[in-house]
Structure 1
Amino acid sequence: MNVADSEVVASVLGEEHYEVTNDESEADLVLINTCSIRDNAEKRIWNRLDALKHNKKINPELKVGVIGCMAERLGGKLAENKLVSLVAGPDSYRKLPGMLTMADKGDPAIDTELSKEETYAGILPKRLEENAFGGFVSISRGCNNFCTYCIVPYTRGRERSRNPEDVMSEVQELINTGHKEITLLGQNVNSYHYKTDEADIDFPDLLKSVSKLDTTVRIRFTTSHPKDISDKLIETIAENDNICNHIHLPVQSGSSRMLKLMNRKYDRDWYMERIQKIHEFIPNCGITTDIFCGFHDETEVDHQQTLSLMKEVGFDWAFMFKYSEREGTYAAKHLKDNVPEETKTKRLQEIIALQQELSIKSNKADIGKKFAVLAEGVSKKSDQELFGRNEQNKVIVFPKGNYNPGDYVQVKVFDCSSATLKGSLVE
């Protein structure tokens, strides 16, 4: 999502004759687009600001801004850092030219006002990776779920869906410029709903329309909320060959008690029923997830339920974390962070170890299978190998042969690790 937002920012500033540079030492303006979902993400930003002090010494005219969720959360506190001359929240990017004018005058340029309407309609994002074969398109902004641990509704505002015509136009532009794979984005992508007097379009409707623009282009989406995985959506994926058979479905915990404390709006049984429905309609669907441990009052029983759910589902891969309290959330105010740090660490290690077992099992099951892979680039280990992803979003490394990044390649898997498949070319 931050990649997509950065492309919006690049477009807005491009109208003011700013150009993107890949050489940081050349920059007159550095904007750090930030995330606040975990404490470690914010710590990295403070470290980044410290590192930029060197650039400021070399170029005293350098302007540094912090934008995105951390800017929204901390606002003027960031401007207390003498290096920072601009602070803009996720709904303030149209105002950046005026804010930069203020910064030039030495005035504090801070705008963290959230909007109920801003979707950046009419702005065609400037693609930052010119040779990329995959592109991102935001279809909604914000979130209405208010999970008790999550800062996102407070930093990105309430959920609002983009006009489907804008979405379709942006996707078509990516297709026209040679992109082979497009990912639809939303904090809760599958709750997309755009309703007017003339139209009532939900996410499966939009997904199907996007897939029909060019059936040779792969379509992905992220991130889905389990409560909004409808039968209609599952059937839409199954019925359209170019919608990738991969669903990222964050479970967070395998304990219904914990899910209720988290205000996730589903329980373990609901989640497992959705998994069964996915397998019924899309037998070869890749399923990945988010899991975290150590939330308020989590017991060993709750933790064991998470481990048992992981085994039952057999996730291909997972983002795994221990709980870090975020100031401003419901949990920070009402649900004490009372699981000892050493307990969190132990439980996270067990989750990671189990997922490594599940990932290697999932990958071994692919040995002998053939996949169409979109080559994304040259392997880090050898310039004679390419890497890419199959429909299930698994990374496959394979011989370069006569292929180049951007090609679709038929590959047969012969070996694997927990993170990567290894394949040979199918002539």
Structure 2
Amino acid sequence: MKNVYMENLGCAKNQVDAETLIKLLEDDDFVLTEQVEQADLILVNTCGFIESAREESINSFFSLHEANSKAKIVLTGCMAQRYADQLEKELGEASAIFGNRDLSKIHEVVRQVFSGERVISVPSYPPRETEVYERDLLLSFPGSAYLKISEGCNHWCSYCAIPLIRGELRSKPKQTILAEARDLISRGIREINLIAQDLAAYGTDDSDRTSKFMELLADLTALPGDFFIRLLYIHPDAFPASLPSFIATHPKVLPYFDIPFQHADTTVLRSMGRTGTKESHLALIEQIRSAVPDAVLRSTILLGYPGEDEAAFAQVLDFLKKARLDWVGSFLYSREEGTKAYALRNDRDHRKAHKVAAAFQEELEALQAPITGNNLQRFVGKEYDILIEELVEGEDLAIGRMYAQAPEVDGLTVVVGRNLKAGQMVRCGIKRVNGLDLEAIPVAGAMHG
């Protein structure tokens, strides 16, 4: 038996891949260790979405290699998938470069590595009926898990490298998704976070090109058990019109809407390859809030895209003032080779624009923070179920989340109370807003589950 150390970077979809890789290696008698110094094998599950993520991946690789230079070290994930040829030449320290489309190939990659070979393996996707999805260990906090319903994307937004990395849309068979959900529920998972590049695109890669997402959601909510579903990432141009009313009548689906609008200026949106407008975005938000009064809305904004100027950014600020979104994340445009937007400006102009966009980002955050803080006030004085994530050592405190807070990206709820356990659901009264977090105490006599 050998020890394996996993360094997982990037998004939740990458995390699911890491969990699958761990399961596959455990089937080969590897034991997961949290101490890199004890590892015989190190896996660095990289992100390749934007330049800063790739830099983090490379820095992590060298840091881990320095911490344990005797271990075999495998670079896998999105960066390995997209840049295998380049990494083969420039990263001689890597025992293997392994893509992320057929995770089952990790068996033979590792066998070759331990027999002394250096391996470059970027396999294609396997047939859907043979693809592996099994996971034992979950890298989420207790009580919560991600469930990936598709790979890749067919939107081909002009700035986005995801189709180059993950390929075109590849929906997972519905029965496989339902089986995974049943397994998670049987293991006591209370929060199932559905993830994909665009949830609503599920099934549009079938011959009839129509979305099967609402059918899938209906089947998931019909499963027995004490759980709830959180929906993460729905493209605004493909938003299902029936989704708000469905959520309003199906309490197992949290009234949480994660819609990456990305911008509000029509010219910029068209160049991005998106069909929406500021007005259509605001109309969608109003539709959601009318159907679901307790809806929480999150979005992301991309700043620094070619063609964005002061006037275009002013449209973003006006949109945010009117939308009053609960949570807004922002990121700076990364010039990705192979995307449609790459040729829209040269590298020198990109560096200049990046500095301007960084200033825009500060202005956006200064505008949005008080909106978020004010929106959180509506929860004060009310009771909600809080999923406890972790205990604060030496204190009668725990960190958790309510329905308005998605894992990792939103604020948290600090629960003041004793005898709390990670992974349990606790009914709490919200006492105050502290910055962008909430403070709560358990309701007297509340059932802990």
Same fold by TM-score greater than 0.5: yes
Matched, 1:409 2:426: yes
Amino acid at match of 1:372: D
* C-alpha spacing 1:310/1:42, structure 2 compared with 1 (3 Å): same
Q: 1:66 aligns with which of 71, 75, 78?
A: 75
Partner SS for 2:257: strand
Q: How many residues align?
A: 423
Tell me how far apart the structure 2 counterparts of residues 406 and 102 of structure 1 sit (CA, whole Å). 39
Rounded to whole Å, the distance in 2 between the matches of 1:356 and 1:309 is: 15
With over 3 angstroms needed to count, the CA separation of the structure-2 counterparts of 1:75 and 1:414, relative to structure 1, is: same
1:373 maps onto 2:386 in alignment: yes
SS at match of 2:182: helix
CA RMSD of aligned residues (A): 2.4
Preserved contact between residue 143 and residue 424 of structure 2 (Cα < 8 Å): no
CA contact (8 A) 2:102 2:126 kept: no
Which whole-Å CA distance do the structure 2 matches of 1:144 and 1:135 have between them?
26
Partner residue in 1 for 2:3: none
Q: Is residue 2:408 matched to residue 1:399?
A: no
Question: Aligned with 2:355: secondary structure?
Answer: helix
Equivalences for 1:303-322 in 2 at 5 Å? 303-322=313-332
- Give 1:131 deviation, angstroms: 6.9
Contact 1:252–1:292 under 8 Å retained in 2: yes
Choose the corresponding residue for 1:51, options 63, 75, 82: 63
2:170, 2:205 within 8 Å by CA — same for their partners in 1?
no
Gap change, CA 1:197 and 1:341, over 3 Å in 2: closer
Match of 1:35 in 2: 47
The 2-side partners of 1:255 and 1:366 are apart by: 32
- What is the alpha-carbon distance in structure 2 between the residues aligned to residue 312 and residue 222 of structure 1? 23
Q: Distance in 2 between matches of 1:231 and 1:215?
A: 27
Residue correspondence of structure 1 range 278-289 to structure 2 within 5 A: 278-289=288-299
Q: 1:187 aligns to what?
A: 197
In the alignment, what sits opposite 1:15?
A: 27
Relative to 1, partners in 2 of residues 1:187 and 1:304: Cα closer, same or farther, differing over 3 Å?
same
How far apart, in 2, do the equivalents of 1:195 and 1:51 lie? 40
**Residue correspondence of structure 1 range 40-119 to structure 2 within 5 A:** 40-57=52-69, 60=70, 62-79=71-88, 80-115=90-125, 117-118=127-128
2:236–2:260 CA contact under 8 A, matched in 1 = yes
1:139 aligns to what?
Answer: 149
Partners of 2:353 and 2:129 lie apart in 1 by 41
Question: Shift of the alpha carbon at 1:304?
Answer: 0.7
Give the aligned partner of residue 440 of structure 2. Answer: 423
Q: Give the CA deviation at 1:279.
A: 0.5
- The residue number in structure 1 matching 2:9 is none
1:269 deviation in Å? 2.4
CA displacement 1:159-180 (0-9 Å, x = unmatched): 0111111101111111111111
Deviations 1:68-94 (A, max 9, x none): 111122112223312211112220311
1:351 & 1:152 partners in 2: Cα distance?
26
Q: Are the aligned partners of 1:115 and 1:157 in contact in 2 as well (CA < 8 Å)? A: no
Q: Secondary structure at the match of 1:148?
A: coil
1:140–1:120 Cα change, 3 Å: farther
Give the TM-score normalised by structure 2.
Answer: 0.88
Q: Which amino acid aligns with 1:373?
A: I
Deviations 1:172-212 (A, max 9, x none): 111111111111111111211178799x8711111121122
Of residues 275, 280, 284 in structure 2, which corresponds to 1:274?
A: 284
Instruction: Kindly state the Cα deviation for residue 155 of structure 1 after the two structures are TM-superposed.
Output: 0.5
Contact kept, 8 Å, 2:413 with 2:438, in 1: the verdict is yes
Distance 1:240 1:215 in 2: 14
Quote the offset at 1:100 in angstroms.
1.9
- Normalised by the length of structure 1, the TM-score is 0.92
1:37-91 residue CA offsets vs partner (Å, 9 max, x unmatched): 221111111211221232344xx2x111111111122112223312211112220
Which has the higher mean CA deviation after the structures are superposed, 278-287 or 103-112?
Answer: 103-112
Read off the aligned partner of 2:83 and give its amino acid letter. Answer: L
The amino acid across from 2:87 in the alignment is L
Q: Which runs of 5+ in 1 are unaligned?
A: none
Aligned to 1:162: 172
State the SS of the aligned residue for 2:222.
helix
Counterpart residue type for residue 241 of structure 1: P
Letter in 1 for 2:316: T
How far 1:275 sits from its partner (Å)?
1.0
Aligned partner of 2:216: which letter?
L
Q: Secondary structure at the match of 2:31?
A: coil
Q: 2:81 is aligned with what amino acid?
A: E
Could you say which residue in structure 2 is the equivalent of 1:361? Answer: 374
CA distance in 1, matches of 2:161, 2:207: 33
For 2:422 and 2:207, how far apart are their aligned partners in 1?
45
Q: In structure 1, what is the equivalent of residue 355 of structure 2?
A: 342
Structure 2 spans left out of the alignment, 5+ residues: 1-12, 406-410, 445-449
Answer yes or no: is the 8 Å Cα contact 1:193–1:201 preserved in 2.
yes
Q: Is the counterpart of residue 351 in structure 1 residue 364 in structure 2?
A: yes
Work out whether 1:300 is the aligned partner of 2:305: no
2:447 equivalent in structure 1: none
